[in-house]
């Protein structure tokens, strides 16, 4: 394989830009020609494909989001558009694809492989950390640090005004961000889809703490519970403490990648390039129990991500 396209797809995540840089530079070191696909899957269709040059990837390792931009393409569901994308790759002499994104991006690229047998390697990048088969996805550490900083700042106001604050994190139907953030910031309450919660028990605990001098409290709620607004009203009505809701939203996706995400980008990229060059066809690069490896796309498509039971056990007291 002499020519490989690099693309980012789906929701942006810090770590994508470092991965683009690392993939391109490692491909050069292997004697391969890297190409850059701009605007995700739509870029394949619209031929926004250029041969990478050193200046394209110089000075981007600190950039948040994705320098290649991204999209969610409905057009890619149409075989006619996928055929156009295949023709564009063929025109450039591209023999394989490295796609940096989430499970939806991998499924789309796998369909592309089924149609035209163009090999691909997937690098998991999503702040939700909800891709089956891997313990870590690019962007998670940066997102957690953004959330941690936001909650630490909110705590200052909560303490100053004797208030309760409910902080809603992203994560779709996965509560990883909420659980990790709640533990890292010392939150008093955490509601996530993975753990059954008991508001009566939480109420008894919090009222006892208030009676014993607690002057403020922090609750972290995963967006998948859809409990942010309700919990805010509930705290005011049940605990008798003025409560405010803060929805962090897309701020969690931004920011310069942390050191951890930059180093993980290197490691994921090397594994992706090595996998393609060794003849793997449609594999996802995973980080599992401290080691890198590959899993078939079916593992991602047919399975649900599982959160570390230790994390769930640590968070369970915050749900009762």
Query: Which residues are the active-site residues?
Result: 128
Distances (CA, A) of 8 to 27, 29, 99, 113, 254: 17, 21, 6, 17, 15
Radius of gyration for the chain, computed over Cα atoms and rounded to the nearest angstrom: 22
Per the listing, tokens 């250029």 go with: 50
Largest distance between two CA atoms of the chain: 72
């Amino acid at each position: 394989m002499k020519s490989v396209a690099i693309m980012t797809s789906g929701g942006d995540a810090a770590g994508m830009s470092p991965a683009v840089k690392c993939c391109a530079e490692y491909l050069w070191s292997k004697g391969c020609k890297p190409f850059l696909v701009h605007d995700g899957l739509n870029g394949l269709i619209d031929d926004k494909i250029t041969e990478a040059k050193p200046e394209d990837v110089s000075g981007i390792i600190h950039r948040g989001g994705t320098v290649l931009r991204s999209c969610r393409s409905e057009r890619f569901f149409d075989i006619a558009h996928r055929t156009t994308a295949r023709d564009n790759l063929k025109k450039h002499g591209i023999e394989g694809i490295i796609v940096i994104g989430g499970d939806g991006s991998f499924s789309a690229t796998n369909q592309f492989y089924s149609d035209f047998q163009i090999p691909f390697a997937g690098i998991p990048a999503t702040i939700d950390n909800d891709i089956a088969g891997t313990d870590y996805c690019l962007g998670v550490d940066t997102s957690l640090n953004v959330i941690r900083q936001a909650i630490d700042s909110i705590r200052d106001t909560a303490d100053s005004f004797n208030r309760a604050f409910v902080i809603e994190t992203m994560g779709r139907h996965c509560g990883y961000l909420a659980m990790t953030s709640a533990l890292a910031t010392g939150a008093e309450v955490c509601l996530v889809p993975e753990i059954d919660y008991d508001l009566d028990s939480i109420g008894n605990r919090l009222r006892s703490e208030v009676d014993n001098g607690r002057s403020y409290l922090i609750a972290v709620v995963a967006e998948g519970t859809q409990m942010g607004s309700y919990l805010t009203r509930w705290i005011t009505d049940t605990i008798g403490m003025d409560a405010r809701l803060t929805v962090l939203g897309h701020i969690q996706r931004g920011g310069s990648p942390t050191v951890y995400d930059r180093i993980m980008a290197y490691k994921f990229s090397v594994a992706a390039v090595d996998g393609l060059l060794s003849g793997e066809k449609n594999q996802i690069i995973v980080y599992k129990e401290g080691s890198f490896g590959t899993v078939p796309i079916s593992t991602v498509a047919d399975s649900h991500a599982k959160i570390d039971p230790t994390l769930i056990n640590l968070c369970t007291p915050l749900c009762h």
